[in-house]
Structure 1
Amino acid sequence: MEAFYLPDPSDPTRFESTELTRGPWSPDAQHGGPPSALLGHVIERCEPRENFRVARVAVEILGPVPLAPLVVEAKVTRPGRSVELIEATMSSERGPVLKANAWRIRQAEPELELPDGIVADETRPGPDTAAAETHFESAFDVGFHQGIEYRFVAGDFAELGPATCWLRLRRPIVAGTTPSPLERTLVAADHGNGISTVLDWNSYLFINTDLTVTLHREPIGEWICLDAVTYPEPNGTGLAESRLFDEKGAVGRGTQTLLIGHRK
């Protein structure tokens, strides 16, 4: 499998889902990261404008994304001279499965002269400091875990609590393309809940209903770091929050609203 998705040469809105998109819980449902990144792929190609970049993407998960052909469409719904809103939808033969809103913002030219020390320069230990690659334990031989490399510098999939993990793609999101910084960030940020759970995987389920990623600058390089923590509540609602880094420093935040319950 060369990529998570294969484009349809006859229709730019259609994509074939490969088995690399399969999530850990069902043989017929995708992990949330790849389809979120596919939305980002289409959003960036929607009426592109010079010197503009996507600063925030909010993905709403309407239901399980099947391992099936998908139709992904985007349009500018609020044009503007400096700021514009893009809306995107993803559908299968069953109907809509994801939708997203993205703010695209014009970048200052020339760059602003800011006071010393005001720009975030905090860093995290790099991926080369991890003892070894961590492998995600899945019930299926083929799935998203084969297309992503994980290196924990704090915590682990099997360790409950906050975690710091570097991720990079082994395969492109869309065949024949190079993953953009936004695509890399979206697929990584959807792991915040999974790497920082504070509840036993065998006793509880925790499903994110959305993914919001805000980037104050564009990540550089292949690796994206998540410094993630999960906040559960007895009422069954939770929040997973991830501080996002590249190897030069902080780049933004990712959040996920969680449904938490007992696993049957």
Structure 2
Amino acid sequence: MSAWTPTQLSGTSVCGLLAHGLETCSPGPEFVPARFTVDMFSPVLDEPIELRSVIVRDGNRIRVADAQILQRDRIRARATAQYLVVSAEPPGQIWRPAPDLPVPDARLDHLEGSMPLFKSGSGDWTHSFTSGLNPHRKTVWNNIPPLVDGMPITAFERSAVVADFTNLMCNWGTEGVGYINTDVTMTLSRLPQGPELGLQARDHASSDGIAVGAATLYDRTGPLGSCMITALSNTRRQLDVAAAAAARPVTAGTI
């Protein structure tokens, strides 16, 4: 359920379900879902969902696919994925940043998922949902549970779910979260290895109630992509993350 209201699905679930639909259009393991963009323009309700997907463009090196979530004869959310073929790296040296991407000592490897770990600034890793009430850079470490009943979660679905945490990582401050994201874009150079995924806030800008945020997606072997969100001020429903977690406890096996 959404932390904003109990009658809607969370953005993490919406992203994961759309990724699930897009995977039916995957060309195969020799392709990487290099870009995944979700538009969340209507609430996805806690009701039966129709999930549609279609291949838009097919080629030897690029495939583009679209997916939609429909409820009550309306499109509630949509996504597009661009699959790129894996090939050899070109010659030469290119500048790359050397980000400090923290990794917890303890492993989150439960088969049914694990409670997320949070880190603010130079503080310690913690499961506490009150740890982000500060103006410091946020990082989250996740092991996402299975998304669809009876099916193991895939690396792409796992990445899509974590991508929606970008709003929390970039907009969590001293008074909670005052922005609700209207979209998510995730870019991947590769799929994650293993069940754990980290996300660290990288950039934030806001003006007149509109915010944009960017974060780095990584695993224990290093960075693998970026996530970006656009968000609207939602001060009428300023989100108290700790209260939302207490109302709907996050345990292994839940998103």
TM-score range (shorter-chain normalised) is: 0.7 to 0.9
- Say which of 12, 19, 44 aligns to 2:23: 44
1:126 aligns with 2:126: no
Q: Per the alignment, do residues 191 and 47 of structure 1 end up closer, same or farther by CA in structure 2, a change over 3 Å counting?
A: closer
Structure 2 residue matching 1:159: 3-state secondary structure: coil
1:226 aligns with 2:199: yes
- Say which of 205, 212, 224 aligns to 2:185: 212
The answer (yes or no) to whether the contact 1:55–1:105 under 8 Å persists in 2 is yes
- Say which of 6, 9, 13 aligns to 1:30: 9
Aligned to 1:57: 36
The answer (yes or no) to whether the contact 2:134–2:173 under 8 Å persists in 1 is no
Of Structure 1 and Structure 2, the greater strand share is in 1
1:158 aligns with 2:133: yes
> 2:236 and 2:203 mapped to 1: Cα distance?
18
The answer (yes or no) to whether the contact 2:54–2:66 under 8 Å persists in 1 is yes
The answer (yes or no) to whether the contact 1:122–1:249 under 8 Å persists in 2 is no
> 1:152 and 1:72 mapped to 2: Cα distance?
32
The answer (yes or no) to whether the contact 2:164–2:184 under 8 Å persists in 1 is yes
State the TM-score, normalizing by the size of structure 1: 0.76
1:84 aligns with 2:44: no
For 2:101, give the aligned amino acid: R
> 1:123 and 1:48 mapped to 2: Cα distance?
34
The answer (yes or no) to whether the contact 2:133–2:174 under 8 Å persists in 1 is no
- Say which of 93, 104, 112 aligns to 2:72: 93
Aligned to 2:214: 241
> 1:41 and 1:121 mapped to 2: Cα distance?
32
1:262 aligns with 2:241: no
The count of corresponding residues between Structure 1 and Structure 2 is 225
Q: Per the alignment, do residues 128 and 180 of structure 1 end up closer, same or farther by CA in structure 2, a change over 3 Å counting?
A: same
Structure 2 residue matching 1:128: 3-state secondary structure: coil
The answer (yes or no) to whether the contact 1:161–1:230 under 8 Å persists in 2 is no
Structure 2 residue matching 1:63: 3-state secondary structure: coil
Q: Per the alignment, do residues 107 and 259 of structure 1 end up closer, same or farther by CA in structure 2, a change over 3 Å counting?
A: same
Aligned to 1:179: 153
Output one character per residue of 1:11-35: Cα deviation in whole Å (capped at 9) or x when no partner.
xxxxxxxxxxx01121101110111
1:221 positional shift? 1.0
State the TM-score, normalizing by the size of structure 2: 0.78
Q: Per the alignment, do residues 40 and 198 of structure 1 end up closer, same or farther by CA in structure 2, a change over 3 Å counting?
A: closer
1:53 positional shift? 2.2
> 2:90 and 2:210 mapped to 1: Cα distance?
42
> 1:252 and 1:67 mapped to 2: Cα distance?
31
1:250 aligns with 2:250: no
> 2:213 and 2:114 mapped to 1: Cα distance?
20
1:257 positional shift? 0.3
Identity %: 26
> 1:123 and 1:221 mapped to 2: Cα distance?
20
Output one character per residue of 1:165-194: Cα deviation in whole Å (capped at 9) or x when no partner.
21111x201122221111111111211221
Aligned to 2:162: 188
For 1:127, give the aligned amino acid: P
For 1:64, give the aligned amino acid: P
Output one character per residue of 1:148-168: Cα deviation in whole Å (capped at 9) or x when no partner.
521123353333342112111
